[in-house]
Amino acid sequence: MTERLVVIGGDAAGMTAAARARRRRDPDDLEIVAFERGPYTSYSACGIPYFVGGLLSDIDGLIARSPDEHRKNGIDVRTGHEVVAIDVNPRRVRVRDLAGDGRERDEPFDQLVVATGSVPSRPDVPGVDAAGIFGVQTLADGVTVRQAVDERKPRRAVVVGGGYVGLEMAEALVRRGLEVALVDRTEQPMASTLDLDMGELVADALRAVGVSLHLGETVDGFETASGSVRAVHTANRSLPADVVILGLGVRPNIALASEAGIAVGDKGGIVTDARMETSVGGVWAAGDCVESVDRITGLPVVVALGTHANKQGRVVGINATGGDVRFPGVVGTAVSKICVYEVARTGLTEREAAELHVDVVAAKVESTSRAGYYPGAAPITVKVVAERPGGRLVGAQIVGAEGAAKRIDVLATAIWNRMGVDEVASLDLSYAPPFSPVWDPVLVAARKAADLVG
């Protein structure tokens, strides 16, 4: 008898799970059906700012595998279909045909993959639904923003939110020739990602390309005219706007799972075990909608990154087809390019450690990305955070020019393996003048932290 695997969500986690399951089980043995409400599957949402900014001429480069390619590989992908309910007993989902007549029907499953991703945060203020105000989460969102900039030729943009998406979109709009203002309620950009002293470097880079920063301010409304946005209001000012980008972060999209009685954790994500199985047997979850385990603290966290989504999807695809593998957790490694700087972090920031009552020391060093005498040498700042006593490396941040950010992978690997800063300081890292000073900044920062630990 043919078994039926149903996947909710057609991006990284869901389609990785589907593809892995298909490679392990023959179509005569396992039918795989994937429902996706949008028109695209398996795309790089991280590339949207570069598409909007004109670095990419079309979206094809952001699509790893189209719906037709998945279908050719034996996965029944149904785009324009939204799952509106899950019934775990009997095992079925209710699906609405968005692309057709809008009718709903029940689809049975033997096993289910919940890969519903995340939903963007929107301020609950007057005017938020006006035309010209955009969230940027899905590829379809990116296409809409690109069309608005191409066709309407806006002059002034306001970005609300100073996280990764907000800053990358601010730079993209500057690249398109717009006057850009950014509003964020925190003291520095990327406050949830970097410590304030490192975020200050990012703020300087944004100002250098002409972004007007309004920090420590909260949006309390949008002024509209004829249904379109005209200005963004805070308690301190009114900022004229032809287009507004919301970059206020995301939260796990757990509504379907929660309504079906699937366990949701204190951090707001679906709870799974290490095999990515939920509280309901045969129902799996992966991607932005789930909680993961922080390998440093052992606590649940929600980290919305495509890297984790793909890895978790692979685990689901294997285990749903009779395998037995585990997702080992996360350490929060992330990287971005903001104007002239590459920005990276892993593990805990100094602020996060304080909130968790972890006793730490922090060491920060300023160096260069290459040997100081070599052409193209540019500033790089490295900050490491070490637990006290013992000196275990628990966090790191890097802000610097080209060649800076991928150094974070050395520190992420060290954190993953619970290394001390004294061990990191002695690592046998590569050296040549075009790539590093003889003492790489990573080693210098680790040695400084080791001295502070004592």
User: Among all residues, which ones are annotated catalytic?
Assistant: 46
Neighbour order of strands in the sheet with 238-240? 219-225, 228-234, 238-240
CB 244 within 8 A of CB 222: yes
Contacts of 58 (CB under 8 A, 6+ apart): none
Q: Computed over its alpha carbons, how large is the radius of gyration of the chain?
A: 23
Cα separation, 430 vs 277, in Å, equals 41
Cα separation, 29 vs 232, in Å, equals 56
Counting Cβ atoms within 10 Å, is residue 452 exposed (0-12), middle (13-18) or buried (19+)? middle
